[in-house]
Amino acid sequence: MSISLTRIESRPALTPGYYQFFIDFETSSSEHLEQAVAELREIAKEVSVVSFSGHSDTPSASAATAATAAKPVAANASSGSGRDVTSNVPWFPRKKTDLDTFADKVLEMGEELSSDHPGAHDPAYRARRAEITRIAKTHRHGMPLPHIEYSEQETATWGAVFDRLTKLYPTHACREHQYVFPLLEQNCGFRKDNIPQLEDVSNFLKDCTGFTLRPVMGLLSSRDFLNGLAFRVFHSTQYIRHHSKPLYTPEPDVCHELLGHAPLFADPDFAAFSQEIGLASLGASDDDIEKLATIFWFTVEFGLCRQIGLDGNNDEVRAFGAGLLSSFGELEYCLSDKPEKRPFDPARTAIQKYPITDYQPVYFVADSFKDAKDKVREFAASLKRPFDVRYNPYTETIEVLDSQDKLVRYAHLIKQDVSTLTTALERLSSSA
């Protein structure tokens, strides 16, 4: 049997005591693929081929297995410095096209619905979800984002959510969200009677901060989702909640993504903060991924921030988390006296337990997005990762800073930026 293993990745499965292994390999024939799958089924609880490309001379495949084996690590390519500092950490994407490997690897929801989901017993709704998730599954980097023709019923559901939330934004949403939202109405078709298309929103965000949206079938693992943020890519669903309960959803949907998340990705400081969490997740251990995912939960999803009030005092607390900005009930609750509010401290936030299906009993309040970014960067430096990374926006790749040559090149780039800054300051001073 001729098989060349190109990647292996593992993570705890949803079933306690089990692990999932994602394996990419190249083989000389489809017969060898069938043989490999057959042998894996002898030692694993379940095996499925999530993708197969047989149009080239060397077919390639990805297989997902669930087994009770010890967890290995996945090797990345050597840096050429004589030592490979990434060989003993979990695999992570190096370029944007690597995010294509996440397309099939959703943990739950998407096409499959739990028995208590409002749409679980609605055949028409399930068929519609299946249609939209299949479209997301086929999307690859560089392709136009899928255009979804939403029905009148789906638009009415969006309208009910849009109407309730937009009435609260002036008094509950952070200043940055309030600044961007009218721009989305003007440029991306944000209105009660229209569900915006991901393509329009993604293009708008890219012009603002370089962030882009990418369709996804359902919930990704924390590792995969956070890895995407390192490239300023946000994985977004396109299906919508069930019409029977327009003001409730047990999982992210297009209302949550576009009303909650999208506006703030147009803000430079928030975009930089989100990317900082993503960069820290690359090659991180499972324990550190859990900490970073918890920080994400209490900030990007359920974060509060202090802002200067109309009287000039820094005493107003507003919501910036998408889970709050897309839920009128929790948006009102989070700014009341009922929950506990604590200062944002990544080290403490990272270990705070939280409920998923109830309102949060504890919220963390950031002084600003920039301050939160600096604190996350400092926290990331304490994580057990034997290297640092940077995102190269010109090549849209991740650079591992593991050699003197790379550090020298990086230092030259910083020097050029400092020189440009110095010249600009001098000209500004002379013209004052």
Residues present in the chain in total: 432
Buried b (16+ CB within 10 A) or exposed e, 97-130: ebbbbbbebbbebbbebeeebbbeebeebbebbb
pLDDT for 222: 93
Buried b (16+ CB within 10 A) or exposed e, 20-31: bbbbbbbbeeee
Chain-centre distance for alpha carbon 155: 25
pLDDT for 116: 85
pLDDT for 213: 98
pLDDT for 82: 46
172 labelled catalytic: no
From 50, 47, 54, 1, select the one nearest 24 (Cα to Cα): 50
Catalytic residue among 117, 177, 242, 261: 261
Catalytic residue among 256, 274, 276, 330: 256
pLDDT for 77: 39
Catalytic residue among 176, 257, 301, 330: 301
d(CA 424, CA 266): 25
From 225, 154, 148, 211, select the one nearest 180 (Cα to Cα): 211
256 labelled catalytic: yes
Query: Phi first, then psi: what are they for 247, rounded to 5°?
Result: -100, 15
Q: Which residue has the tokens 């000209």?
A: 427
pLDDT for 70: 35
pLDDT for 76: 43
Contact call for residues 12 and 21 (beta carbons, < 8 A): no
Q: Mapping DSSP to helix (H, G, I), strand (E, B) and coil, where does residue 176 land?
A: helix
Q: Mapping DSSP to helix (H, G, I), strand (E, B) and coil, where does residue 137 land?
A: helix
pLDDT for 68: 40
d(CA 65, CA 47): 4
Residue 250 host element (H or E): none
Residue 58: what residue type?
A: T
Buried b (16+ CB within 10 A) or exposed e, 329-353: ebbeebbeeebeeeebebeebbebe
Report residues of the chain scoring pLDDT below 50. Answer: 55-56, 62-82
pLDDT for 148: 97
pLDDT for 6: 67
pLDDT for 60: 53
d(CA 334, CA 317): 10
> What's the count of helices (H) and strands (E) in the chain, helices before strands?
14, 14
32 labelled catalytic: no
147 labelled catalytic: no
d(CA 237, CA 110): 8
